[in-house]
Structure 1
Amino acid sequence: MTELVAPEPHLSRLNFLFSSDPGLTAALLCIANGERFGAHRQVMGVPEALALLPNSALRAVVAAAPVGTAARSVPGMNLQQFWRYSLETARLARSLAGIVHLNPMVAYTAGLLHAVGTLVIHRSEVDRIHNINVLCGPFDLRRMEFETRLFGFSYAQVSAGLAKRWQLPQVLVEALCYQGNPLDNDAYEPLAAVLNLAIWRARAGEAQLNERELAVTYPGEIGMTLGLDIDTVLQQDPINWKPKSEDE
């Protein structure tokens, strides 16, 4: 985070740095939506937060980031894989949101933060989570079902609880809560459906599903609510908007 000590930090680099880490993103949005800065508006994504907060607040965020920062370790989790998967989901959600005319920045935020509850469960349920890990890995498409059977809740509810604690906008809280079953929400939220499809695509990629497995597992009913078929979802290329260095 040496960019933060520069006399004039480069916003595109700061955006990339914060947007690449679920913990930093959560902490940044928590501060931006707090009483001091967020009393008059809801901040949905990193670019808005960076425009709102002074450098002193950004440095404080880095110094006191919550769960999710890459520097921490989590029992039973391959964090490098987790960060890669979270970024993949975020980029896919952003891409899909653009097709259905939702806010891509908000979708990216939802995708980046959707699985932070996984880290909390792995820390708090070390023994019991091992039983689930034996049956299916952290990115298995059946993961939410197995967690709900054992705990009575899943990482989705934990992620939503964290988002609420961090004072994130309600649309993000609901998208995280209903990411596994968007149609169960009394007030259908398209963002949750976009997130669901992005998660399916990212986890299918992690599992390297074949053509038949993709067809069988595709959440067609959810895709139908957005007007997205399996081919459209599979064709999305998650763009990595990394800023170029000055010497490139």
Structure 2
Amino acid sequence: MKLLIEKATNLPGIPKVVQELIASFSNEKINSDRIAVILSSDQALTAKVLRMANSVRYGGHRKVGSVKDAVIVLGIDSLRTLVLSVGFVSTLKAPEGFNIKEFWLKSFKVANRCKWLAKSLKTDPEIAYTCGLLHAIGEYLIHLVKQEEAILIDKRVAKGENRSRLEQQLLGFDYAKAGSELADYWHFPQDIVTAIRWQEQPGAQEEPSKYASSILIAQYMLDNEAKIEQGIFDDFPAKLVHSLHLNLSGLYVRMENMTDIDEGIEEFIN
């Protein structure tokens, strides 16, 4: 897998701003001034971030005209997450046969649910959001390095086959493994690398990653919205939730009463 990544001449480079902001997750001393300096080094990205900061999704009640304004209005964590979102969408270009809009739409929805779950899981909401946003980055990588196989896999998945199992059969690895290798190649924090790697089977770890668990639960929430609205949780990953020492009934109640958390995500990808 590492050799495939190294040989992928069409693999995009992550903007330095995005790399620095991801690295800052592990820096407890990061402050608003430093965030402003990092962001200001990329004028094109700054312009896109300021446009989004003035959107309905981020309030739109106060004019944000500079990076300094954005830090004050949004706060460090929200601004950092916004920059990462805009940065990745701007960087990753669609390979042939890959529906990049559909990819990002689902990724943002999973990210929103991972962030929403952070309160119950007692995880950092911004790291959880980033894990959700990048959970399927391995699908993108497979389309870059194994284009023909990737298109075939997509067609079979659309007919109901399991993506991870199918990729293992045809490629010898799946999108979770590919995504974690790419995240490691990009020098992402270990929490994110681990979450992407174990998202399909967080319970297979000796101590399940809460971030990996949040991705799995978030995907369940997205795939079963109608059932959740009806209060039906017959195939919910309850065993995993119990292993994380969470209050299952309390989580059910929260999910049933969850308000719309996806408002405005189309602005990121249009």
Would you call these one fold, judging by a TM-score over 0.5? yes
Which residue is equivalent to 1:153? 173
Partners of 2:196 and 2:33 lie apart in 1 by 20
Unmatched tracts of structure 2, length 5 or more = 1-11, 47-85, 265-270
8 A contact 2:194–2:212 mirrored in 1: yes
8 A contact 1:182–1:189 mirrored in 2: yes
How many residues in Structure 1 have an aligned counterpart in Structure 2? 209
Partners of 1:57 and 1:237 lie apart in 2 by 37
SS in 1 for 2:95: coil
Give the deviation of 1:108 after TM superposition: 0.4
Q: If you compute each CA radius of gyration, which structure gives the higher value, 1 or 2?
A: 2
Q: Which of 220, 223, 230 matches 1:200?
A: 220
Partners of 1:59 and 1:220 lie apart in 2 by 46
- Distance verdict in 2 for CA 1:204–1:153, change over 3 Å: farther
Whose helix fraction is larger, Structure 1's or Structure 2's? 2
- Distance verdict in 2 for CA 1:154–1:241, change over 3 Å: same
Once the two structures are superposed, residues 51-71 of structure 1 have per-residue CA deviations (whole angstroms, 9 ceiling, x without a partner) of 264344334878xx9975377
8 A contact 1:90–1:110 mirrored in 2: yes
- Distance verdict in 2 for CA 1:168–1:67, change over 3 Å: same
Which residue is equivalent to 1:9? none
Which residue is equivalent to 2:240? 222
Q: Which of 96, 110, 129 matches 1:75?
A: 96
Which residue is equivalent to 1:54? 38
Equivalent AA in structure 2 for residue 156 of structure 1: A
Which residue is equivalent to 1:84? 105
Which residue is equivalent to 2:261? 239
- 1:100 paired with 2:121, answer yes
Partners of 2:33 and 2:192 lie apart in 1 by 15
Once the two structures are superposed, residues 113-167 of structure 1 have per-residue CA deviations (whole angstroms, 9 ceiling, x without a partner) of 11111111112212212332222139x7822222122212111111111211221
Structure 1 window deviating more from structure 2 (217-226 vs 190-199): it is: 217-226
- Distance verdict in 2 for CA 1:182–1:162, change over 3 Å: same
Structure 1 window deviating more from structure 2 (169-178 vs 77-86): it is: 77-86
Which residue is equivalent to 1:246? none
Partners of 2:26 and 2:93 lie apart in 1 by 29
8 A contact 1:115–1:156 mirrored in 2: yes
Which residue is equivalent to 1:128? 149
Give the deviation of 1:211 after TM superposition: 9.1
SS in 2 for 1:186: coil
Equivalent AA in structure 2 for residue 78 of structure 1: N
8 A contact 2:118–2:124 mirrored in 1: yes
SS in 2 for 1:120: helix
Structure 1 length normalisation: TM-score?
0.67
Equivalent AA in structure 2 for residue 57 of structure 1: S
Paired-residue identity, %: 22
Give the deviation of 1:201 after TM superposition: 2.0
- 1:163 paired with 2:183, answer yes
Partners of 2:180 and 2:112 lie apart in 1 by 20
Once the two structures are superposed, residues 163-192 of structure 1 have per-residue CA deviations (whole angstroms, 9 ceiling, x without a partner) of 112211111111111011101123422121
Partners of 1:83 and 1:184 lie apart in 2 by 28
Unmatched tracts of structure 1, length 5 or more = 1-22, 243-248
